[in-house]
Amino acid sequence: MRKYEDSYQHKGLRKKLIDVLREKGITDESVLEAMNNIPRHYFLDSAFDKIAYEDRAFPIGEGQTISQPYTVAYQTQLLQVKRLDKVLEIGTGSVYQATVLAEMGAWVYTIERQKKLYDHQQKSYHFKSRYPNIKFFYGDGFEGLPTYGPFDKVIITAAAPFIPPKLVQQLKTGGQMVIPVGEGDMQRMLRLTKQPDGSATEEAFDMFSFVPMLTGRNK
Ligand code: SAH
């Protein structure tokens, strides 16, 4: 049985990570505070306990990764999360990003296409009672969650080959989507804002590298 402990050492390393994120240009205090409150090492295999607070991605099984802290902070900052925002996340993975959103007071609807990761999270998500505002779904993120929308915000945490039209449809007017788009090794981070006529305006930000967003569910 895994032992979960958030020691002074972990807390100290986490504070240092927050300083690193600040130095790299993250300025939204609500994002930094949420990340300072969440023990990232709980989301990783205990073998990574001591290095969980380095600013890097790690494997989480099934060929997937937990995003680098800087990437999580960057996407979350662009999303401009407010308390009680209804947020759709594509790519549950380790649940770390979803937990950051939940800690900021959002209602989080997160979709994972890998059955094994989904099942694992259902069984062993450590913070179930602390964050009842996270709802887990097994499905294809390209489809979104039409019966739960529309959403204030949508965040995609895998490399999208194109902007999924159904996810734009499921945004409220004025709602925003943060999505890394591109089919090569690197993707451009975009922020879309839904317009009253149903279209979306686009702002372009930095380049990142994500695992691919794939169609269909995986058993
Ligand atoms: N947000 C995660 C990062 C996970 S990596 C975290 O904080 O740890 C990206 C995840 O997206 C992987 O788990 C992958 O299986 C999932 N994914 C890829 N394509 C998807 C799709 N079409 N629908 C839902 N999830 C998808």
Q: Tell me whether residue 57 is in a domain.
A: yes
Among 31, 211, 217, 219, name the best residue to mutate to test ligand 1's pocket (greatest count of ligand atoms within 8 A of Cβ).
Answer: 211
Sheet of 151-156, strand order: 134-138, 107-112, 86-90, 151-156, 171-181, 187-194, 200-208
Q: How many domains are contained in the chain?
A: 1
Identify the pLDDT of residue 156: 98
Identify the pLDDT of residue 124: 86
Catalytic residues: 67
Q: What is the CATH number of the domain that holds 64?
A: 3.40.50.150
Identify the pLDDT of residue 46: 85
Residue 115 has pLDDT above 80, yes or no: yes
Q: Tell me whether residue 176 is in a domain.
A: yes
**Looking at ligand 1, which residue's alpha carbon is closest to its atom 23?**
141
pLDDT, tens digit (0-9, with 9 covering 90-100), for 34-57: 999 999 999 998 888 889 999 999
Q: Tell me whether residue 218 is in a domain.
A: no
Q: Tell me whether residue 200 is in a domain.
A: yes
Most distant CA pair in the chain, distance: 53
Band the pLDDT of 123: cuts 50, 70, 90: confident
Band the pLDDT of 1: cuts 50, 70, 90: low
Identify the pLDDT of residue 122: 85
Q: Tell me whether residue 213 is in a domain.
A: no
Band the pLDDT of 212: cuts 50, 70, 90: very high
Cα 150 to ligand 1 centroid, rounded to whole Å: 21
Cα 158 to ligand 1 centroid, rounded to whole Å: 5
Element (H, E) at 215: none
Answer yes or no: are the C-beta atoms of 172 and 151 closer than 8 Å: yes
Q: What sections of 104-201 are H helices per DSSP?
A: 115-124, 165-169
Q: Return the axis-axis angle of helices 96-103 and 29-37, rounded to nearest 10°.
A: 120
Residues of the chain above pLDDT 90, percent: 85
pLDDT, tens digit (0-9, with 9 covering 90-100), for 166-179: 999 999 999 999 99
Identify the pLDDT of residue 14: 97
Q: What is the mean pLDDT of the chain?
A: 95
**Looking at ligand 1, which residue's alpha carbon is closest to its atom 2?**
93
Identify the pLDDT of residue 207: 97
Atom of ligand 1 nearest to the CA of 60: 8
Atom of ligand 1 nearest to the CA of 66: 8
Q: Tell me whether residue 78 is in a domain.
A: yes
Copy the structure tokens of residue 152.
């204030």
Cα 218 to ligand 1 centroid, rounded to whole Å: 11
Identify the pLDDT of residue 34: 98
Cα 88 to ligand 1 centroid, rounded to whole Å: 12
Q: Tell me whether residue 217 is in a domain.
A: no
pLDDT, tens digit (0-9, with 9 covering 90-100), for 63-104: 888 999 999 999 999 999 999 999 999 999 999 999 999 999
Can you give the residue range of the structural domain that contains 202?
A: 8-208
Identify the pLDDT of residue 29: 98
Q: Tell me whether residue 215 is in a domain.
A: no
